Every structure is written in C-alpha cells, then in structure tokens.
Amino acid sequence: MTSIAQFAPASAMQPLPEIDQHPESRHAVIVCNPDRHSFDHSIALRYAETVRGAGHEVVIRDLYAMGFDPVLKIAEQPSNQAFAPARDVARELQELAGCEVFVLVYPIWFGTPPAMMKGYIERVLGAGVRPQPVQQGSPTALLGHKTLLSFTTSATTNVWLDEQGQLMALRQVVDLYLVHAFGMRKQSHVSFDHITEDMSDHFAQQYLLEVEEEAKRVCVDIDALSNGAGRAQG
C-alpha cells in the first residue's frame, strides 16, 4: 500500500472531488486506493488538472471514497433475462456515459489490481455484457471504440516486476483483455515503481510530470479523432 501524503497536493488530503459529472464528460478517471493521501490520488488529480487545462472535461470516480460495493450479485450475471442494473451500477453508468477515455489508477497488490477495482470492472464496465460478444470482441455501448489508459504504482521496482513477469501479465490480463473484450480502440499503461514513504520530492515530481505528458498526449489523440470525424461528416 502506498501512502505519500508529503507529495500529494493539498486537494488530495480530502476525498477526490467528483468534478464535471455529466454525460458529456470526455475522460473518466477511476482511482482505487483506500488511503486518500496516496500517490495514486496525486496521479488522478494531476491527470484531471492537465486534461481540464487542455479544454477537456473530467469525471473522477474515487471508489473507496464512494464506498463502492465490488461484489457481483447473481442478478448481475449474464442470463436470458433482460439486464436491469442495480441502482448503484445504474448511477455509475450514467456518470460514465459519453466518456471517450477511461483511466484506471491503482496500486499493484499481490500481482493484481485491488479487489474493489476488479469489482468495478465486473459490475460497471462489464454491466450487461454477455460471453459471446466478449469472445468476438464486439464493441460495447459503454467502452466500444474508447481509449483505455492505466497508471499503476508499486513499492517494488519495475526491474523486479519484470523479472517476475508481472508487468507483462498485468497488461495481458487487464489492459489487453479489456480492449479486446469490450471492443475498445487502444490502450496504454504507465507503471510507477518504488513508491515508498521515503521517495524524494524530486522523484515524485518527475513521475507527476510524466502523468502530465501522458494526459496531454491522450488529449491530442482525442482531438485529432474528433477533428477527423468532423471533417468526415462535413
């Protein structure tokens, strides 16, 4: 678990604000860490600030602050019955509607995302999705042709994670699987290592600068797509 309060901006000392929440939001930032002082929260805030500075809109979903229930219910499993999302899932689907970029921010715990993030993928991102479209890679209503970006943090080093095959496995099991299963357009994964209590301010700021650059890159990419679509329609 990472707790880097000394590197977090003052706004990270409170639960992340749910800013610009409406269907026209362009980027959905989904952060999962129980420590509101965590470096993951700093990443989420820096990404959101950069995106807003580029003229894009953002909605932040802070899963622990929300008290999100990650447990998939039997009624939410695929069946021959018409899918009716639970109230909390329906609310999330409404908040995420219209987003073109989905950003996952989480620490690596024992080789995988936290259970709450996995539950959000199961209950919200995969809501109502049946096995056959997943196998075919058919675009889903929520995520089809959208962009996936992941930021992960670890107290260990990327060298050690690579030796264990961890980073490659995480990209295969989470990122690439989601892109195929939900018919997304593309994915990118940024892994920050050695996130510890004794991490220097210079080290932390270098990482946050990398977050900014990634956010700007995604904004340029989305703007190019939008402009291309506009010219095609014209």
Task: Write down how long the chain is.
Answer: 234
Residues 205-214 as b/e (b if ≥16 CB within 10 A, e otherwise) read eebbeebeeb
Return the structure tokens found at 229: 């679509």
DSSP string covering 9-70: -GGGGSPPP--S-STT-SEEEEE--S-TTSHHHHHHHHHHHHHHHTT--EEEEEHHHHT---
The average pLDDT across 34-50 equals 96
pLDDT of residue 233: 56
Q: Across all residues in the chain, what is the average pLDDT?
A: 85
pLDDT in tens, 104-129: 999 999 989 999 999 999 999 999 88
Specify the higher pLDDT residue, 21 or 220: 220
User: Which of 93, 87, 213, 104 is closest to 142 using CA atoms?
Assistant: 93
pLDDT of residue 128: 87
Specify the higher pLDDT residue, 114 or 169: 114
pLDDT in tens, 52-84: 999 999 999 999 999 999 999 988 887 767 788
CA distance linking residue 35 with residue 65, whole number of Å: 9
pLDDT of residue 19: 43
The average pLDDT across 212-228 equals 90
Q: Are 17 and 50 in contact (CB under 8 A)?
A: no
Residues 40-56 as b/e (b if ≥16 CB within 10 A, e otherwise) read bbbbbbbbbbbbbebeb
Of the chain, the percentage scoring pLDDT greater than 90 comes to: 61
CA distance linking residue 200 with residue 224, whole number of Å: 37
